[in-house]
């Protein structure tokens, strides 16, 4: 196992040298073509830069297995970093069992999955049936990869997606989601009150599906809550509000410019005890929204469904996230997602968001909608994988439903009766500069997967 793990790490480091931001996976696709050529494997690359590599099985019973992971990674860096994601390798640092990146996201999501597939594809000793390894693109943004993939190229009927962030859990389903853009158009007015910039940054953030409990620390709602409290003291005119990085992630930073006659605003905000990291400074600014419009915008932010929306028997049934807010002159744009395994519940809460928007004079544009991945009660893949897990780890894995978007639901929709599970190893704080992975956890996942493949 030690040689396998050393090779896994070498492959992970190699992968980290190749830029692979969402939508820019071309270099990595070329690397995969080279890899396949070197190992005399079938390789197909499509226009979306998806790559399919096939390898013949080397054991008796032969049920073809599809392995799948996404190439692209979320590219974020610390404010002071000069890292160029188009050209620079990720600076990977190992500290004992932990691996992280210097000043950037690591791309363990899903460099781990990529390295595992390469490890198996290049090996002469690992036992497996016919393998079809799918490397897909733009998972972190548009799902373009799995949407455009030519599924007629696949022979297998069982697919293991490697894109989960825990090593003790097998994912068998995932939420449906709706992403909306909420748009406000108002009038800017001359306003000679003092302007202040109120901001918060460097909050923990993370993917809202996996870290939904962090939603109370969403930078956008923190700033909105402060403004709402100030509105109770005196008139507050909003000039602009901008924050967040992506609709699915919990916003780590947000800044608003307001105008008000409230005196001693520094202490007033301090008294609210909202957050210790709030920065306030006086700035120059001439235009603001009207008092009514300012109220509508803040009310909209705070009323849209966010965090855990509905829980039942300890399970999260509906959750939401407000990921991005931008102001462009007299328009404010908010992007948010709502998700649920229960399509009726999803509709219900989406309708609530729509009527909130109507009340606050926002118009709504649907950006995307993904269907749920409904668990397959008779999954042979799940049964066999659970047994393999037990043989390796001496315990039973958790079988669960994911609240983050996985490509599985899109694949499911486009294939006939594909039997799918999703697995992975521990990745912490993915989509942030604090992203971490653990070698011991990767080892556990690799051992379990190899045990499954050899049986
Ligand atoms: Zn991922």
Cα 19 to ligand 1 centre (Å):
16
Over residues 400-428, mean pLDDT: 91
Identify which of 452, 451, 447, 454 has the alpha carbon closest to the alpha carbon of residue 167: 447
Residue 87 binned pLDDT confidence (cut-offs 50, 70, 90): very high
Cα 110 to ligand 1 centre (Å):
5
Cα 259 to ligand 1 centre (Å):
41
Residue 206 binned pLDDT confidence (cut-offs 50, 70, 90): confident
Residue 78 binned pLDDT confidence (cut-offs 50, 70, 90): very high
Tell me, what's the pLDDT at 455? 86
Show Cβ contacts of residue 4 under 8 Å, excluding neighbours closer than 6 positions: 119, 446, 450
Cα(80)–Cα(420) distance, rounded to whole angstroms? Answer: 42
Cα 74 to ligand 1 centre (Å):
9
Cα 75 to ligand 1 centre (Å):
12
Cα 376 to ligand 1 centre (Å):
22
Cα 339 to ligand 1 centre (Å):
17
Cα 103 to ligand 1 centre (Å):
20
Tell me, what's the pLDDT at 207? 86
Fold of the domain spanning 177-370: Alpha-Beta Plaits (3.30.70)
Calculate Rg over the CA atoms of the chain.
24
Tell me, what's the pLDDT at 411? 94
Helices (H) and strands (E) in the chain, counts: 11, 23
Q: Cβ–Cβ contacts within 10 Å for residue 268, how many?
A: 17
Beta-carbon-side half-sphere exposure of residue 96 (alpha carbons within 13 Å): 1
Cα 102 to ligand 1 centre (Å):
20
Cα 165 to ligand 1 centre (Å):
8
Tell me, what's the pLDDT at 301? 98
Identify which of 325, 336, 241, 322 has the alpha carbon closest to the alpha carbon of residue 289: 241
Cα 404 to ligand 1 centre (Å):
9
Over residues 363-367, mean pLDDT: 97
Tell me, what's the pLDDT at 211? 87
Cα 437 to ligand 1 centre (Å):
13
Cis peptide leading into residue 110 (ω within 30°): yes
Over residues 46-50, mean pLDDT: 98
Cα 185 to ligand 1 centre (Å):
35
Q: What residues pair up with 288 in beta bridges, in sequence order? A: 189
Which option is the CATH number for 2-175+372-454: 3.40.50.300, 3.90.190.20, 3.20.20.370, 3.40.630.10?
A: 3.40.630.10
Please write the tens of the pLDDT for every residue from 216-255. Answer: 999 999 999 999 999 999 999 999 999 998 899 999 999 9
Does position 59 have pLDDT exceeding 90, yes or no? no
Over residues 308-312, mean pLDDT: 95
- In sequence order, what DSSP letters do the residues of 107-120 get, joined into one string? -HHHHHHHHHHHHH
Cα 70 to ligand 1 centre (Å):
7
Show Cβ contacts of residue 434 under 8 Å, excluding neighbours closer than 6 positions: 100, 204, 428
Tell me, what's the pLDDT at 342? 92
Assigned token pair, 236: 């507050």
Does position 397 have pLDDT exceeding 90, yes or no? yes
| C-beta contacts of 309-315 below 8 A and 24+ residues apart | 309/338, 309/349, 310/340, 310/345, 310/349, 315/401
| pTM of the full structure | 0.82
Cα 334 to ligand 1 centre (Å):
24
Cα 305 to ligand 1 centre (Å):
24
Q: Is the alpha carbon torsion for 373, 379, 384, 390 positive or negative?
A: positive
Does position 417 have pLDDT exceeding 90, yes or no? no
User: Per mean pLDDT, which range of 94-98, 175-179, 235-239 is the poorest?
Assistant: 175-179
Cα 152 to ligand 1 centre (Å):
24
Q: Where in the chain is the domain with CATH 3.30.70.360?
A: 177-370
Please write the tens of the pLDDT for every residue from 134-161. Answer: 999 999 988 999 999 999 999 999 999 9
Over residues 48-71, mean pLDDT: 94
Does position 351 have pLDDT exceeding 80, yes or no? yes
Over residues 371-398, mean pLDDT: 96
> Over the chain, what is the mean pLDDT?
95
Residues near ligand 1 ion, CB 5 Å cutoff: 109-110, 163
Interhelix angle 380-393/439-454, rounded to 10 degrees, is 120
Three-state SS for 302?
A: helix
Does position 61 have pLDDT exceeding 80, yes or no? no
Over residues 446-451, mean pLDDT: 98
Please write the tens of the pLDDT for every residue from 261-300. Answer: 999 999 999 988 776 689 999 999 989 999 999 999 999 9
CA 125 to chain CA centroid, Å, is 35
Q: Where in the chain is the domain with CATH 3.40.630.10?
A: 2-175+372-454
- In sequence order, what DSSP letters do the residues of 257-282 get, joined into one string? EEEE--SSHHHHHHHHTS-TT-EEEE
Tell me, what's the pLDDT at 405? 73
Cα 300 to ligand 1 centre (Å):
30
Phi and psi at residue 212, in whole multiples of 5°? Answer: -60, -30
Cα(407)–Cα(291) distance, rounded to whole angstroms? Answer: 44
Q: What percent of the chain has pLDDT over 70?
A: 100
Over residues 67-80, mean pLDDT: 95
């Amino acid at each position: 196992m030690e040689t396998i793990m050393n090779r896994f790490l070498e492959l992970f480091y190699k992968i980290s040298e190749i830029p692979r931001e969402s939508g820019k996976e071309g270099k990595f696709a070329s690397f995969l073509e080279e890899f396949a050529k070197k190992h005399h494997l079938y390789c197909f690359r499509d226009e979306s830069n998806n790559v399919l590599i096939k390898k013949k099985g080397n054991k008796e019973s032969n049920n073809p297995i599809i392995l799948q992971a996404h190439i692209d990674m979320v590219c974020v860096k610390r404010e002071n970093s000069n890292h160029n994601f188009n050209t620079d390798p990720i600076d990977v640092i190992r500290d004992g069992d932990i691996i992280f990146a210097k000043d950037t996201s690591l791309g363990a999501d899903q460099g781990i999955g990529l390295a595992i597939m390469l490890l198996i594809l290049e090996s002469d000793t690992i036992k497996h049936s016919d393998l079809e390894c799918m490397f897909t693109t733009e998972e972190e943004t548009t799902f373009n990869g799995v949407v455009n993939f030519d599924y007629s190229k696949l022979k297998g009927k069982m697919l293991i997606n490697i894109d989960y962030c825990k090593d003790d859990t097998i994912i068998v389903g995932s939420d449906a989601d709706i992403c909306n853009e909420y748009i406000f158009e108002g009038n800017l007015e001359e306003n000679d009150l003092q302007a202040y910039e109120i901001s918060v940054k460097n909050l923990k953030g993370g993917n809202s599906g996996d870290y939904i409990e962090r939603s109370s620390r969403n930078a956008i709602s923190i700033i909105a809550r402060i403004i709402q409290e100030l509105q109770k003291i005196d008139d507050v005119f909003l000039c602009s509000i901008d924050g967040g990085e992506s609709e699915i992630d919990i916003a780590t930073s947000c800044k608003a410019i307001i105008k008000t006659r409230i005196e001693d605003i520094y202490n007033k905000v301090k008294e609210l005890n909202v957050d210790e990291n709030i920065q306030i400074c006086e700035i120059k600014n001439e235009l603001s929204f009207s008092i009514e419009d300012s109220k509508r915008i803040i009310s909209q932010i705070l009323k849209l469904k966010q965090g855990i929306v509905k829980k039942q028997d300890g399970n999260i049934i509906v959750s939401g996230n407000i990921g991005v807010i931008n102001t462009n002159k007299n328009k404010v744009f908010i992007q948010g997602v709502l998700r649920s395994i229960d399509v009726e519940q999803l509709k219900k809460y989406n309708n609530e968001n729509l009527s909130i928007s109507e009340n606050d004079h926002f118009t709504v544009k649907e950006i995307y909608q993904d269907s749920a991945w409904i668990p397959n009660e008779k999954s042979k893949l799940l049964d066999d994988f659970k047994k393999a897990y037990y043989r390796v780890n001496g315990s039973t894995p958790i079988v669960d439903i994911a609240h983050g978007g996985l490509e599985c639901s899109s694949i499911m929709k486009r294939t006939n009766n594909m039997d799918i599970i999703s697995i992975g190893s521990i990745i912490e704080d993915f989509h942030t500069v604090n992203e971490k992975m653990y070698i011991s956890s990767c080892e556990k996942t690799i051992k379990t997967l190899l045990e499954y493949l050899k049986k």
